[in-house]
Structures are given as structure tokens and as C-alpha cells.
Structure 1
């Protein structure tokens, strides 16, 4: 008899599932796209019914050839998106369209920017745990927006408001318990280390922001039963969910987690002989996909301006976690490449060579540098600079109003110019990571090594540039699907096969390779980083000029 676990990852645009064994080997994966609606600029919506249907398809695909009795647990992770449910758990619209099927306000939705500004003006003490400034991507601003803009259509009909990971475990088990990862990181629930497993909502906070009705009936609509990620959720899979997923009823279900935190669990325990001496508190996990999340743990709470947290017991037990991030990474690279006049030509060339477009562009960058006799390909962007906050800054500035900037454009618009724009975007994102690391270190964090996973971790130029810019070695796990592995670890813990997440990480995270910084481009990146910071100064100066 084998022992297998299932990890389910609901990302921004797709649902993925994996079948994983007790050594952390991923044996099968499957993926399905999910629908996204954009009714207005800055509005992003999904359907919980569509998400669950795609979960079922992917789980059935990865388990079709294995004895269901050998599957011991399942774990879910997802984006930090808001789900609205009504009577009997039916979807309730969260959309100006009025479509009940569109009942998810996605993580990257910025409709609640004004509500976030009003919350921040209160300077309430709960804001201390989100870097002093709440983001419109968090849930209480979104709840304010729903109450103020869709009161009859949504607010008055809603029975439950859930983080998407908690919707998934509710759908799987019928349990209304919520993950501490969800409520602490995105909902302003405060958990203190001196009372392990205990915390509190702030009645005063909800009253001050006009959501006092959520305090009724012991916060029934947003949760009053909380569990650590990976701990048993409910009584296992319900009969109905087991039928949907093609699994056996009562299968252990781990309490869910936000996708970035799942990636942290799946990558930060990765070991080699070089890294064994590096404690968890000196590691940082960088999960780079549509957005990028920088997960930093510490034994003691460290408050960092503009960085979310510190949050206790939300990822690895008995650790405080800070979460910094960039709200658009993969999405920004795609935008820069796909809107360029030479995009179609570059795509055709890549397809002709049978390689991915990013691989083709990376190869072209290297070829251009060699032809120009440059000491390093990074120098191709000597006169091309970017500020990458096209969708606002999450960390360390916590300013959702910031815009993107590009300096150094010419009338040339061929494939080589596209390659340089691609490189400049990657460099700008790496400078953003350096900006975050400087804020973490200034507050007292120690960082000896980055542990990187996510789709962009497969881009060699992205990884090497981050090492070169920050001067910090990067561990790339041999198992590239760290987010799925992290979800499977939650299922493994719930099954009882491991005593703690740390035990499961030690057994399942595996080994990896280390990418070291290249010394020959250090000076170049130091100078470009100075330009990067100047661009921020200039943008703020331009704003001052235009507001007077």
C-alpha cells in the first residue's frame, strides 16, 4: 500500500492539482483554466462554482490511476480572494453586473481603494499588523465597498463572507472553520503568542469602519472557529464532496492556506549540505508568479513599515511571518511583452524554434550582448530604466496609487527592442525585491539566502538577475511545483502521518541547486538601483506639481 496526498492550488487564472507521495515526489499534475471577469478597470471577479468545478476536474485527473484507499489526505491553497455566499451556501453577487455567479472579488481587485484610504485614516491599532497601511487587496476594504455599493444585491443577502481557501475546505467538508492564515493575514484578526491558538476580532475596529453588523452573533458571517493550516478540518470529506472529487468520504482534509504561504511551506525547508546550517529565521521564500510574495519568518515579532505582519502561527507553527510583495510580476512581464509591436514576430520565431517565448528572448539577450562585446548582458539596458508599479506598490511603500514608469524609449520597435524591454522589466522587479530586502533588514530581519519558487523561478534570467541585484544566493528546489507541494503537505499533516508541518517539510521538501551572484555586474546594478530610487522621487515630484 502506498501513501499519497493531494495538493490543490487555485491560482489567479487556473486550478492545479498534484498527487504527491510521502517523500515529496510529485507523481501527477493537472490544470484547468478558471473564468475571470473585468467589468470595469481595476475590477476582477470570479465564480466559486466554476472554481470548485475545476478543482473536481483536476483532482479526478491526478487520481485516476491510483487506489483511492492509498490517498490519505488533501490540502487546498488559493489566492486571497473574497467569496460571498447566501442562504444554503448559494452564490450571492459581488459584481455591479448583478450576476449571482460572479461572487468572488479577486485578490488583485482595487475597487476598494477609497475604502482602504478611509480605514488608514483611522490609524487603528490593528493596522500595526499590516505594515501600518491596509491594502485594497485585503478583505475589510472590500467588505466596506460591498456594503456601500451593493447593499441590497449583496450585503443584505449574504450569510457568509469567506476567504477562498476557507470556501474550498467548507465545500469539501461542510465545516465553517476558518484558517488562521486567512483571518490573521487578510481580515485583521489578531493572534498573540502568549495565548497559543487564541486571538480576537476587534469590535471597535469594525464599528469604526461601519461594519459593526459583522460583530453580531459572535461574528458568525466571517468566522469564530479558527484552525492552523494543515490541522484537520471538519470530519473529513463529506459524502457529496467525495462524489464530486472522485475520492472516498471522510478523507482527511487539511485546513487551507493562502497560495503564497503554501509556496513558502513547499520551498523554505529545501536542504543541501550548504544550506543545512541556515536556520529558518535567516531564510526568505520568494514565490514569483502573477504577483510575487516574499515570506520572511522569525522567532520574534518584527514590525516593518509597508510590509504585512508580523503574523503568528499562520504558516509554520511558533514562527512570526512577515509578508512583503509585488502586486504584479508575471502579469507585468506579459503586459510589456504582449503589447510591444514586435510581439507577434517574436512569438513566431520562438514557435519556429520550438521554445517558449521567454526562452527565446533570453537567448536573444545573450546573443545581442555578445555581438556588442559587452562584459555582461545586463548592460543592454544601460539607458533603459523602469519603475515597475503598474498596478501600485504593495511593499515596502504600500502605495496603491503609484504608476509604472519607463525611461529611455526610442522609435525603434523591433524584436531586439522587445528583448531589451523584457530584460529591463526583469531588472526592475529585481530592484523591487532589493527595496523590500533593505526594508526587512533595516527593521531587524536577517537574510542569508532566498528560496525561490513559482512560474518565474523557471526563468533563468529572472533568477540570476535577482541573485546579481541583491547579492544573495538563491536556492531553487529540485521539485519545481513548490506551491502544490505545500498544499499536499497540509493534507499529509491532516492525515496524521506527520506530527507537525516542520516534520513534513523535513521529509518532503527535498533538495535543490544554488544560484550564486555574479560579481562582474555588481557595480552596474548598484548604479541602476540608484536610478530606480530616483524614479520614485521623480514620480512623487510630478504628482506634487500636478496637484498644485
Structure 2
């Protein structure tokens, strides 16, 4: 295959847009990042603007094309991924407000928005069979509770709404004018039903029980009538308007989108290793660790895991089921703990003086503490500090948005070393949370022999090694640090026709990775700490029961 074939990948994360140019071997030639706006006008309400996001995409794509000096004639496809946020437009495709303050530009309810608590509780009280596809409990982060919230609280928006998009599907519509939807988005977040018997449909009974029966009108035109698998070409390719905006050719194939975590998983699971033979695909779990964290595993058979989303059929790889665990706040939690500490400004200043990121500075400080205190390892510095990390509720496997964070072992100390220890305890707690999710997956029938890691937190060596040690299995770090962007570009490559299917794209562009092995000397320590971790969950439930008693 000639080296003149390139693809553009666009990733819309929680707080930024990123665009990259990728070649047909999976090499990221360059990338551009643009910050996007978030409104958080009241607790649990998080909103964005689709116009702001598209404007940032235009800027990012133009910048990376200029940086890479690739002739637009050699761009053979473009792919998009995004967070699973909800976009609302009227019949003229104009933004409709999802905000109580009525600002029309605020037309996206973000994935992390937790306003729909009561609606999610009602959905789960129905015990409807549809819930079997989300681990038995629907999260308030999904779109169905948010649809109910809009109908109940924003009557005008509900009356005028003509199009409800998952953000990845909005992007392919904006690029092509095609109203097709991604199977990934619909089955994972919108209660769409698909399985290996050939079923692909909305569930009328479910919508009726939720008071959303009007969404059935015009063959579900507001939700999506044409549903495509990841990487399938959307419409007639890049529209004239979008091509002019992005500085690309009209008609470039646009691949059907994926949710951002699934794009990262797509790129990761096909990554090979020169160090050792990797297990079969259905024993590889991908941890996509950023603001939040997703835990994705494919399987050839249907596996139901209580409290874990899925199983979703063909949501990522055609013909395979997907289960998805998750933590609602990971990178965000680390930032919250670190930046809220009295010593943060001092630590930040010292890190800047050394030209270091704060986390790297804290990692170095922990290494110094091991020597200073005569401790056997960094891990064991937190002997008396324990955390339950669900400051923003538990997504998996407890599936309880009401859970909150807990800490044990706090003191009046507020110096640099104290901050470093709290930071370490936070990283460990997140890794114990991942262990909890994997334990439930394996209890239900999965086997996890290796973990892949991508996302922003994979750059943090302490975060990676801590997870490896606590999980007790090798962690593979793909050579490409931009797995999510690579996954987006793979969708464009699939749509281009340069490859016969998405599996061929994965084989050609997946690349290699470095294997990080666990340190078995701390296994017993982490086993005890994990026991404390699970006891903290029992304690929190006990406290709730006491306070609920009359």
C-alpha cells in the first residue's frame, strides 16, 4: 500500500478537542488540541455548546493539516469519536437550550451531568428487560434518564426538539448532513436493542412505560432511523460546507463514529507486543483512563455482569459482545484531591521551577520518602491511609450514584509530604476500584489475562505501575500515546475502502506496545489494603442504614 494514504482522526473529550493526521501504519504524524467550554452553573449540571465544539474542531483540523504538511488530496478518510453527551437541535438544526437558565447555546447535556437522578431511579424501579443490557441498573449518565428530565423540566425545549444526537453522531451529521446513527452510541447509551439473533430496534414498551411514547413518532426520527456499525461510510462523505470549514476535499469518506472510550479500546486491543505472546482478544481488558475511566472487554459469547454496562452486541468489533465498567471520576478526582490541599500552591511552584508536571514532582517526592522513612516500597507509604474514591458516585460495579468518597487516616499535617501521601492513596484507591470491577467481571465468566491502558493517565508512571501491581496482571502501554485519536482515524480508514473491514484496519494500524509486569513483592500488602477498601463500602452502607432509620 503506498505511503500517500493518510487519515484524519478527531477526538472530542471532556474538556478539549484533538485532531490528528495518521498514516496507514497507525503512526500519528501530528496533533492539535483546542480547549472547549464547560458550563457548571450548579452542582451536578454540566453543559456544553455544539457550536463551540464544532468551531474548535475546525481550528484543530486546519492546524494539524498545516503542521503535518499533508496534501489534502492524500487524506483518504476522516473519523470522529466523542464523549457520550447529548446534543439537542430543533427542526432547523439550531441549538435548543438544555439549561434551566434558558441559554440556547448550552444545548449539550454532558456525560458527567447527574441531574437525572430521580428519572434513573424510576427507570430502574420498572425492572424492565431492557435493563438486562446495562448490567441490570441504568446509570443516570445515560441518555434515557436525561430525555425524561428534559420532558419534565424543559417543556419548550421538549416541544421544539426535532433531533436528539449522541455527540459522536452529531459530529458525523455536521460533517456529512447524514442523520445516520452509530450502533455503538445507541446500544450503549440510548437503550437501543441489538443482539446476535439479528434484532436491531427500539423497544416500544420500554419507551411507553417511561412516558416517552412520542419518540416513536415518524419511525423514531428524533432518535435515529438509520443505524450503522463503526467505520461504515456516512452519507456521501464530507459535505461542501464541512469541507470548506475544515480545509479538506468534498466527499472524503467519513466513518461512522464511536464513543471516545470505545475508540481508544479499538486501537488498544489490536496492539501487539514483541516481548511476549498476548492472549486471545476476549481476555484483553482495556482501561481508558482520563477525566473518568472506562473498562472495556470484548467476548465472543454474551456475558452479563451485575452493575457493569452491557453486554452490547457489535458495539465496537462486529460480531463480538462488549462489557463496559467505569469510574465516573479518576483524573478529575486526582486533580480535586491535589489541587484542594493546603500545600498545592507550594508544590505547584516547586514543580514549575523544575520544569515538571505536578504529578511527576509528587512521584519523585514519594521516591524520596521511601528512602527517608526506610519503607520497603512506595506502595507501603500508605499503610494507615485509606480511601473510597467515589466522590461522584459509583458507576461500576456497585452502580450507585449516591455513594460518596471516604478517607481514613487523616491528620493535621499539611505539608508537601502529606499531599504526596494523599495523592498516592488516591491513585491506589482508583486501582482498587478497577480491581473491584474486574473481580465482578471474572465472577460472571470473563477471564482477564492482560490489561491495556490508554488515555491521559497512562503517561503517569505511578498510576500505571500501581494498577499493574494491584491487578496482578501485565499492563500493555501502546507505543502510540494517542490511542483514542488513533481509534478515530481507524474509523476513517475503514470508511475509505482502503481496507476490507474494521478488523483489517485494526491489524494494520494497531502497532506495538510495552509490557509492564507487576511487582509481586507488594502483592500481600495490596491484598490487605483491598480488604480495607471493600470494608469501607460496607461501612458506608451501614452509615446510610443508620441515618435512614427512624
Specify which of 145, 165, 168 is matched with residue 165 of structure 1: 168
Q: Secondary structure at the match of 1:20?
A: strand
Aligned ranges 1:51-200 → 2 under 5 Å: 51-64=53-66, 65-152=69-156, 154-195=157-198, 198-200=199-201
Q: Distance in 2 between matches of 1:413 and 1:274?
A: 43
Q: Distance in 2 between matches of 1:261 and 1:416?
A: 37
Change (3 A) 1:275 1:506: farther
Q: CA deviation at 1:273?
A: 3.6
Gap runs ≥5 in structure 2: none
Aligned length: 545
Contact 1:268 1:451 in 2 (8 A): yes
Q: TM-score, normalised by structure 2?
A: 0.98
Q: Distance in 2 between matches of 1:80 and 1:145?
A: 17
Contact 2:384 2:409 in 1 (8 A): yes
Matched, 1:266 2:289: no
Gap runs ≥5 in structure 1: none
Q: Distance in 2 between matches of 1:218 and 1:52?
A: 28
Q: Distance in 2 between matches of 1:374 and 1:519?
A: 16
Contact 2:272 2:278 in 1 (8 A): no
Q: Deviations over 1:480-519 (max 9, x none)?
A: 1000000000000000011121111111111111111101
Contact 2:231 2:257 in 1 (8 A): yes
Q: Distance in 2 between matches of 1:203 and 1:48?
A: 29
Q: Distance in 2 between matches of 1:275 and 1:166?
A: 38
Q: Deviations over 1:360-382 (max 9, x none)?
A: 00010011011111111111111
Matched, 1:513 2:514: yes
Match of 1:537 in 2: 538
Q: CA deviation at 1:274?
A: 4.5
Aligned ranges 1:68-467 → 2 under 5 Å: 68-152=72-156, 154-195=157-198, 198-467=199-468
Matched, 1:16 2:7: no
Specify which of 41, 44, 51 is matched with residue 43 of structure 2: 41
Q: Distance in 1 between matches of 2:513 and 2:251?
A: 35
Q: CA deviation at 1:277?
A: 4.4
Q: CA deviation at 1:275?
A: 4.8
Contact 1:493 1:499 in 2 (8 A): yes
Contact 2:274 2:512 in 1 (8 A): no
Contact 2:389 2:406 in 1 (8 A): yes
Q: Secondary structure at the match of 1:324?
A: strand
How large is the Cα RMSD of the aligned pairs?
0.8
Contact 1:39 1:97 in 2 (8 A): no
Q: Distance in 2 between matches of 1:519 and 1:446?
A: 20
Contact 2:5 2:24 in 1 (8 A): yes
Q: CA deviation at 1:194?
A: 2.0
Contact 1:173 1:233 in 2 (8 A): yes
Match of 2:485 in 1: 484
Match of 1:30 in 2: 32
